[in-house]
Amino acid sequence: MTMLNVGRPTRPEAVEMDTHTSLNGGRGLLQDEGLLFEVGRPDRTGVDLEPAELDASDLGDLVRTAPIGLAGLSEPEAVRHYVRLSQKNHAIDLALYPLGSCTMKHNPRLNEKMARLAGFADLHPLQPQSTVQGALALMDRLAHWLKTLTGMPAVALSPKAGAHGELCGLLAIRAAHESRGDAARRRVLTPTSAHGTNPATAAFVGYQVTEIGQTEDGRVDLADLAAKLGPDVAAIMVTNPNTCGLFERDIVEIARLTHEAGAYFYCDGANFNAIVGRVRPGDLGVDAMHINLHKTFSTPHGGGGPGAGPVVLSEALARFAPAPWIVHGPEGLRLEEEARGEAADAFGRMSAFHGQMGMFVRAYAYMLSHGADGLRQVAEDAVLNANYVKARLQGAMTPAFPVGPCMHEALFDDTWLEGTGITTLDFAKAMIDEGFHPMTMYFPLVVHGAMLIEPTETESRAELDRFCEALLALAQAAKAGDVDRFKGAPFLAPLRRLDETLAARKPRLAWHPEPTAVAPAPQVIE
């Protein structure tokens, strides 16, 4: 079996769980496919280009002296290559995507159609503002509904994603403290179970980070919080619902203690999907919260983007919001980009341009198509589905916090795997053989061997049952001692299990062609 230097076999030719092994590497209607450079040839091209009229003499020593090494394919070959690769990827269009804290949920095609309208998709950031009134109007309406849903008086639209929103909120908090001569506040408190971006963002802004303890039932330890609040604390950063999938039932008291100490309450809004339409964070005492449009309001979030993280701000922080702002004037809508007038106290700006018009359009289309009652149902169904998964699995797997309901995600630990010789990682790899993407593993870190399952609101009971039956069958196999099923998994995926340590420390990120002395003339494919 051919091996790459990252320690994994590239083809699953003769594996223990196969009943039949094909002669060419394919599996039924799923075709085998190599790298683009293995499929194509650098000495041919599917495009017939006219000879250049001018030479490259004006480029001096920048003229290429060696072949470029790109793989040449015909149009059918190129199309088939990417179709075959797409069949090897898991996708929300294929099956349930239980990836915990990143909310991989269905993105309605209506949203995509709206985002591709010429008036939105073809904008240029340097167009005169008089020519983009429709786009500004959409942003203005989106801002209105974000403020309405959160009960907050101001919103900054420019942050690009969650961590960028955290940065925005903390910079506003720092500006507020400095405006009243209280720059000595240099500490930020974060819970043990916080998203890793919370302490990282606080440190980036220049704050020291102090950890708040957690109770046995997965919530913020109020006594520990009260003991650590003081005149040097600038803010606390709490996720609600929290990373354990639980609502912070003492959230109002947390806000009271924080404000009493002269600090601000930053809420990580990554899990707003679980309470949208049901709870307004402004009513809980929150001063700043980012909203992941790419989670709560459906924008596809695979592959590391795209993203948008607007930040809503309380009355105490509103005047420090970053430029630009949308303002209504006698000639229509415009962006206030200078530190003057209402924006005189803005702490600066987060980016050169907004840059995520597609995210704004998708989120606004999602809001309009759902309406107030639909958005409320989104939260209710997300919580219902997670509790259904928890109820179905808790007889075979151990919930991390068994008492009471969860919110949008069901969290399990690895207690039930003790004595089996199987780990959380082994179990997750075996899920791939069952046709499911693994859940979030080993996070939050406060739960040993964590398995965090978030089904989202868009899954039917039939699909939830299909998912749960697969996990129950795997759990039964694990407890029955079928270790080989797990230790070698996945057996049926296009690639086998990585040597993940070697892959992380010695990744092979580029393909390098074999050197050739002379570049052959391209062969045109008729």
Contacts with 8 (C-beta within 8 Å, 6 or more apart), sequence order: 495, 496, 497, 498, 499, 503
Is the bond leading into 324 cis (omega within 30 degrees of zero)?
yes
pLDDT of residue 1: 38
Summarised one tens digit per residue, pLDDT across range 201-241 is 999 999 999 999 999 999 999 999 999 999 999 999 999 99
pLDDT more than 70, % of the chain: 91
87-96: average pLDDT: 85
Can you give the pLDDT at residue 171?
A: 98
**Category of 195 on φ-ψ map: left (φ > 0), alpha (ψ -120 to 50) or beta:** beta
> CA separation (Å) from 435 to 93, 405, 426, 429, 482?
13, 28, 15, 10, 19
Q: Does residue 510 have a pLDDT over 90?
A: no
> Mean pLDDT across the chain, nearest whole number?
89
- Amino acid, single-letter form, for residue 215: T
Output the pTM of the full model: 0.88
* CB-based contacts of 472, cutoff 8 Å, min separation 6: 392, 393, 396
User: Using one digit for the tens of pLDDT, what is the confidence trace for 288-334?
Assistant: 999 998 889 987 665 556 789 999 999 999 999 999 989 998 889 99
How far is residue 292's CA from residue 163's CA, in Å, rounded to a whole number? Answer: 10
Location of structure tokens 């040449």: 72
35's tokens: 């790298």
For the residues 17-41, what does the mean pLDDT come to? 76
User: Stretch 120-140: mean pLDDT, rounded?
Assistant: 93
pLDDT tens for residues 242-263?
Answer: 999 999 999 999 999 999 999 9
The model's pLDDT over 155-165, given as tens digits with 9 standing for 90+, comes to 999 999 899 99
Say whether pLDDT at 422 is over 80.
Answer: yes
Query: How many CA atoms lie within 13 Å of 257's alpha carbon, on the beta-carbon side?
Result: 18
Chain segment 440-487, per-residue pLDDT in tens: 999 999 999 999 999 989 999 999 999 999 999 999 999 999 999 999
Residues ≥6 apart with Cβ < 8 Å to 512: none
The string of pLDDT tens digits covering residues 41-57 is: 887 778 888 888 888 88
Helix (H, G, I), strand (E, B) or coil at 97: coil
Strand order from edge to edge, sheet including 410-413 = 398-399, 410-413, 451-453, 440-441
Look up tokens 């606080």; give the residue: 202
Residues contacting 273, CB < 8 A, separation 6+: 103, 105, 295, 296, 378, 379, 382, 408, 456, 457
Q: Comparing C-alpha atoms, which of 389, 392, 368, 370 is closest to residue 379? A: 370
Q: How confident is the model at residue 251, as a pLDDT? A: 97
Residue 521 has pLDDT above 70, yes or no: no
pLDDT band with cut points at 50, 70 and 90 for residue 285: very high
Higher pLDDT, 26 or 501: 501
